[in-house]
Amino acid sequence: MTSRSVHEYLLDLHENILAIESFIDNDPSIVGSDLRTRYAVIRAYEIIGHVAKNLPTELLEAYPQVDWKAIKGFRDFLAHNYNRVRIKNILDALDDLPVLKSTVEAMLAANPPDC
């Protein structure tokens, strides 16, 4: 099994952020009315949280504008408490998506493919 680079993990984060943006198409309220969209957004957030768990702590600490602990915890909540997930939980996460996106883009710029 090959180890993935930091850059590859960051690409995974970025890909899932872009996926969420495409799923909601500038209308976060759709997660409340469309089951497929809600499931797709939840899955993307599960991946985002899983990837965050695989990134070096030192890297995450260098970008404190994102609450990485909350992102990791949100992944666990979504994966293990499916019956307690509320639309508000997802909408709150979507409110933070622009900051996460800009941060991940900065991280990608600072961590080129050879890292």
Which amino acid makes up residue 115? Answer: C
* Residue 114 located in a structural domain: no
Number of structural domains in the chain: 1
What percentage of the chain has pLDDT greater than the value 70?
97
Containing domain of residue 13, as a range? 6-109
String of DSSP letters for 17-72: HHHHHHHHTT-TTHHHH-HHHHHHHHHHHHHHHHHHHHS-HHHHHT-TTS-HHHHH
Model confidence pTM above 0.85: yes
**Which pLDDT tens digit goes with each residue over 34-86?**
999 999 999 999 999 999 999 999 999 999 999 999 999 999 999 999 899 99
* Residue 68 located in a structural domain: yes
The residues assigned a catalytic role are 75, 80
* Residue 79 located in a structural domain: yes
* Residue 115 located in a structural domain: no
